[in-house]
Structure 1
């Protein structure tokens, strides 16, 4: 979410999200309307209280809104592309998140709202929207925000979406550039050889899933996907999925080449 101004004690509307309506900042807090999945998000963030890469959850306000820690700093999508070292750091941060969530037990009756659910299922509760537009860099602290799409998935499904945004993959990209960048992310995470072989297909499937979601929204009028389709977002996701799919073997080669020298944790 992008702040439009700064007045402590005054509600300032934050922009940039697609799930919750009227998200505001009040001093050092963010207030979001409660959704069906909010109780689950609160449980996740409470579980992650010792993980520095997520905001603190601070209960509900008098209007019933979810109150969260406001993270100052710059959104990563407003900054230059990450270096290889920074991509490795993102990989390590996501690995720490996934490891922390292994012990999470959702409260009974929890409702999730993942945008593109993992078609293979999965029992790890993941962020499901790990992307530069949801990463705030506050000095040495890097924090993933906007957890409304949290839900069951797998490590590779969640990491695959992150690869799309952080490499970043675009239509007609440069394999010679993108391969080493993908490798840096995977090395930071510490993927084993079997995971490295499976990873490119997961990136492609998640990217293709986003395109299919936008097309479905266009056909049915479901929001916000119909609006995003009209704004041209499908023009990115479809051709990008084709690019990732077309170079599957190149990604596997980049991920596995000289694997004995990779930076595994």
Structure 2
């Protein structure tokens, strides 16, 4: 590809046209872009995030282009791969503990954590936002970064990576959830609280789509029309129904249980 040729990239929902130019990605500047830049600057030594490279002559946010395959185009994750995802998210959260947000940052907080959040999280940790480039795994699309908590951010990842869905098999999903939690290193208190947080975060995603349908707010109205709420609502119900099963899977043979 020529260094000045623009290739339109697909898959994002928040920003308008996103393009690749050589070894970079260019995204329109949004209200939350300054916050995203601050987060990615802070994460410069974290291999699981793309580098932020400033703005171009059109004011677009310039980021490192990460080659590789989007994880949702690949076979379902093995238990070992789920543990690796958990470790990667733990490393991200540990790195963000020392982040000091600049004043007057406008975050794109779509599904706010009920207690307000004490950590700036990615808030869209999912296979469709994970690029696997050999040994490097990178989370992209940081436009929804904002106040969160460890369990709130990880809860969305659990629904997406296990994945949870209506009609799922608890005998399969329980061990997969356990692998993610073990990779992250959840303690006993966190394991006991985790299933309720997953259910609440999944319900929040459904409510966001329903609200977009009612108000016309994009891209949520479009995603609702495309049937995404038909996944998130029943998935939340499935997670809630089997709360005790998830607890049992998370604490079985746990050292402090």
Compute the TM-score of the two structures, normalised by the length of structure 2: 0.98
Question: Alpha-carbon deviations, 1:154-175, whole Å to 9, x = none?
Answer: 0000000000110011111000
Whether 1:37 and 2:32 are equivalent positions in the alignment is yes
Question: Alpha-carbon deviations, 1:229-261, whole Å to 9, x = none?
Answer: 111111100111000000000000000000129
Gap runs ≥5 in structure 1: 1-5
Q: Distance in 1 between matches of 2:195 and 2:202?
A: 11
**Equivalent residues in 2 for 1:110-121, closer than 5 Å:** 110-121=105-116
Q: Distance in 2 between matches of 1:158 and 1:96?
A: 13
Match of 1:226 among 213, 221, 225: 221
Q: Distance in 2 between matches of 1:176 and 1:71?
A: 36
Match of 2:8 among 9, 13, 16: 13
Give me the CA root mean square deviation: 1.2
Compute the TM-score of the two structures, normalised by the length of structure 1: 0.95
1:259 partner SS = coil
Whether 1:194 and 2:184 are equivalent positions in the alignment is no
Q: Distance in 2 between matches of 1:214 and 1:169?
A: 18
1:160 partner SS = helix
2:115 partner SS = coil
State how many pairs are aligned.
257
Residue 117 of structure 1, CA deviation? 1.2
Q: Distance in 2 between matches of 1:138 and 1:9?
A: 24
Equivalent residue for 2:234? 239
1:121 partner SS = coil
Residue 114 of structure 1, CA deviation? 2.2
Gap runs ≥5 in structure 2: none
Equivalent residue for 1:145? 140
Equivalent residue for 2:69? 74
1:260 partner SS = coil
Residue 194 of structure 1, CA deviation? 0.4
